[in-house]
Homo-oligomer: A and B are copies of this chain.
Amino acid sequence: MSWRKDKDDGRAERGYHHGNLKEALLQAALDLITKKGPAGFTFADAARMAGVSPAAPYRHFRDRDELIASIAQRGFEQFEALLTQAWDDGRPDTVTAFERVGKAYLAFARQEPAFYSAMFESGLPADANPTLMAASERAFAIIRAAAERLAALAPPGMPRPPAMMMALHIWSMSHGVASLFGRGDAARRKLPMSPEDLLEAEVLIYLRGLGFPTDRRPGAAVSDDKPAGPWGKPK
C-alpha cells in the first residue's frame, strides 16, 4: 500500500516534491489520532511523519481544522458505505437488517476510533462546513430510510411511530453505547456484557416497546406467555 514512486522505505529518498502529500498527511493524521486522540494530534507531527517540513501541509489544508474536517468527511463516507451494506435494503427481513445496522454502527466506532472521534468528538463548528454536514446527513439518511421501512411494518392496532423519531432514537442509543462503552483500550468501566450485546438488547427492547415482534424466528408474534427477554436466557 505504498504510494511512493520507487522505494517504499519510509521517508528516505524523495525528490523535492512528495508526490502524494495530501494522502500521506491524511493517513498520518489518522494514525496519530488513533494513538493519541484528536486533541493530542499535531499538525507538525503529521508533517514529520510524512517527511516534509512543518509548512508543507499548508499547501493542502488551510489549517489544522480543515485536515480534521477532511478526515471526518472521509469517515462519514466510509460510515455511509458500511451502513448501506449492513442495511442491505432490508434483507432478509426488516427487523434483522435493522439490528444489523445497529451492530454496524458500533463496529465502525470500535474499529475506526480515529474516524469516529473526528466525526463526533472533535468539536468542529458544524455550520462552517456545509459539505461535511451533507456527508453526515447522507449517512444518517440510511438509518432514517431503515426506520421508515420499519415504521411501515408497525403492527396494526398500534399507533404508527414517526420514522424520523425512531431513527433519532436508534442513533442516540448507538452513539451513547459507542461513546460511553465502545472505545478505550480496556473497558473503562466493568460491564456485565459486551457493548454489542448491550446495544442489541437495548434496540430489541425498544422495538418491542413499539409493538414489534422481536423473536428471531420470522413470523413470530409478541406472545403473552412468558416471552424470553432480549437480554439472553437466564441460565
Contact = CB atoms under 8 A, between A and B. Distances in A.
Contact of A206 (B164, B165, B180, B209): B209
B179 A165 contact: no
A231 B165 contact: yes
Given A126-B188, A208-B209, A172 B176 contact: yes
A226 B155 CA distance: 11
Interface string A167-186: 01101111111011100101
A175 B164 contact: no
Interface in A194-208: 198-199, 201-202, 204-208
A34 to B, nearest CB: 13
**Most chain-B CB neighbours within 10 Å: which of A177, A204, A205, A224?**
A205
Interface of A: 37-40, 120-121, 123, 126-127, 157-159, 161-162, 164-165, 168-169, 171-177, 179-181, 184, 186, 188-189, 191-193, 198-199, 201-202, 204-210, 224, 226-229, 231, 234
B198 A172 contact: yes
3 A-B pairs closest in CB distance: A176-B176, A209-B209, A172-B176
B192 A169 contact: no
A83 to B, nearest CB: 16
